[in-house]
Each structure stands twice: as C-alpha cells, then as structure tokens.
Structure 1
Amino acid sequence: MSNIAPNQADPETAADLLPVDMGCANMDLFDPEAGDYASDDRVFVNDVRTQRAFLERAPRLGLRPYLASFNLSWTRAIVAHERAGRLGRPLIVAFVLGGEEFVAAHPTTAAGVRAHLDALPAGLELEWLVSSHRGDVLDVADEVIAAGGHLVVGIGDHPHTALGHPTTADLVARVADLGRRHGRRPATAGEARRILGVPEHAHR
C-alpha cells in the first residue's frame, strides 16, 4: 500500500483499482515434461488480517478492490468478506484459472469457471472476469462471454504460440471481435469505470 497511497492525489498517477489476493496458495510450478514439481517451497501468503486492511483502506483512497481468486476457498473468502460488509457494489472479481503448470488454480475449463460461479450466492451484484495463468483463456472465452463475464488476456499469462506469437493488442482485438459476435461491444474507458463503480473523483 505504501507505493499506492502517495500517488492517489495526482490525477496522472492515481489508480482506479486495488488488487487484493483473497487467499494463500502453493505457487510451485509443475513441470509436465519431468512429471514433477519444478520447486517445492514457494508459498503465497495473504492472511485475513492483510485482506481486511486492504479492503478497509481502499475506499478511503478512492480505490475499488479488484478481488482475485485462484480456487473455491478464495471465492468463499470473498463471499465471507461481502457478508461482513467490507465490499462495495458491484464486486469486482477476477477468477484466475491455471494451465497444466499452475496447479494452484482451478483448471482452464468451463467446469473450472462454473466451480467459482456456483459458489456465489444468488443475487450478488458483481462484475466478474476470467484469466488463465500458464494456460489459454481463449479456451473458455465463448463460455465466459455468453455467461456475462469478461476476459483478461495477454502474453504475460500465455504466449499463444498457436496463433503465431500475437501481441497483447492482437489478443485484445480478438476478444473484442468475439464479444461482438455474442452481441457485446467493448466498453470505453469511461463506460468501464461506470460499470465497475469507480468513484467519480478517480476519473481522469
């Protein structure tokens, strides 16, 4: 938080969203060729005290929490914090799926997406996004868009070599075209802020 708070007073550097990881995980990657883990000591710790601190301070800084979930226990933690009254509406939830190497997350399949969605209570006001670390989020793109979700795509998560080494801009254009085929046009930056409930004073 110390590298974010000082920037919020300047419109040129102020952020709209504060990423908050909603659980702990073993972050060791699995090596499919070797048939074993590539390491065995990498733990990602985000305890409830840290989550509470971020969630309670975000509104004071004019930030919306961007809630990341790798698996069902993280999604259940989001619901718990919502019940405790720490989350504004709409919730912004990013379901991070995983490829074969990233076993900490649900797999990049339609079932992986549904596992998260099925854990959410009916009527919960949220905007949800899906990405895939070390996996191809385009494998679930149709299902996500048809269900009303959004896609996070880029070469930082997956190189997409099957598409001929595209740039991130190429991938975004591909997803935008897919959205149009489902009757959903891309939002402008201003529209996206309104959809996500970003405070007016944070608009630039």
Structure 2
Amino acid sequence: MNLASIDNIIRGARLQTSSNDSSYQNFLDRLVLPGMVFELSGPYDGPVSWSIGPGLVCVPMSRMKPGVGKNKMVDSILVRQFGILKFKCKKLEGTDSTDTIKRFKLGNSLSDLRSENFIWVECLVSNGSVTTLLPLTRLSYRCHVGQFQPKDKVIGVVMKKAGESFVVDIGCASPAILNYLSFEGSSKKNRPDINAGDVLYAMITRADRGKFIL
C-alpha cells in the first residue's frame, strides 16, 4: 500500500466524521475501513430493494429525516472488510419494487438477481491487482494459502481469546493466531487490552496451509 492509498483512507474517515451526510454515495469507489457506517439513502422515488454483498452488514435504524413528518426507517451498512466500496444498479422492468434488503454472493451473476441495487466491498490483494475476496464474517468459505504471504499487512477482527493468544478473522476460512506478546511493550504482567470485536492491523509472519500467524 502506498502513501496515496493511506492518505485516501484518512481523508475518507475524516469526511465521514465531519460530514452530516453519511450516505454511501459519498464513498463509492473509495477505500473504506472496518467499522465505518453508511446510510442507504439517496434521491429515490418510491420503494427501493437492496442486495448487500461481501464485506458489509445491514444495520436497520430509525431516524427522523428533514422534511419528513414522521419517523422513517433508514437502513445502514456496516463495513466489515478493508477495500473499495462498489455499487451497481439494475433497473427491473415489469416488476413492482418493494423496500427489501437481502444478501448476495459475488459468485452469482448480478443479471440473475431480482433486485435493483447491489453494494459490496471489493478487497485489495498484496500483489497489486484488485479482486473480490471474502468478507470478515463468521461464515466458512474456501481460501487458498497463496492469498496471503509472510510480511503481508492485513486488517482483522478479533473473534475470541484463546489462552495467551487471540483468534483473529482476516477474511479466510481459517482464522489467524496472534500472541499477546507480539504487541510492543507487552508482558505477562502488562497484557494488551484487546477484546472480541476489536479491529487490528497486523503483519503475517507465518502462512501455512490452513494456519496463519500474525
């Protein structure tokens, strides 16, 4: 990752913090970080159906919108995967639209899905090319060891503590293991305050088949 990419991430995070408009439209085709929340709002006339893809989780929310005399359900998405926010709109002909939100996998053809709006996170891989990888979820997917190599930088979500280590979800079928002594300044008496759900930025030190060490 170069300095321009890092600067883009920081600029996007500052924009979300300072802006009152947290619509997903402000971050399309931009790098996003786990923990960011975007509203599925926009200039839509009538009901809109959504398909939420890898790297995102739907968060239903009730908010008061300006110009609306009653509470309106505004659904949001929570980013669970580091990558680029992508969007595709498909116009349905001869069907009645309804306010629905469902999930889809990128292995499916978007033309075969009966929905109007598709949104997902496209992950960046270490070799410089862009491809679609797996989200940081509890679901089980196939993963090739070649996806990550030693010295690769990853962003993961802590799943649980296991003795003197943390089990970290890095987007593969097999979670990574991170020893608490790997943190700078940590010791048996001074352990890092890490809990399940925390997001970590780490480097892979060992990549075996079905096992990753951070």
Q: Which has the higher helix share?
A: 1
Name the larger-Rg structure: 2
TM-score interval, smaller chain = under 0.3
TM-score w.r.t. structure 2 length? Answer: 0.26
Q: Which has the higher strand share?
A: 2
Q: Looking at both structures, which has the greater relative contact order when contacts are Cα pairs under 8 Å and sequence separation is at least 6? A: 1
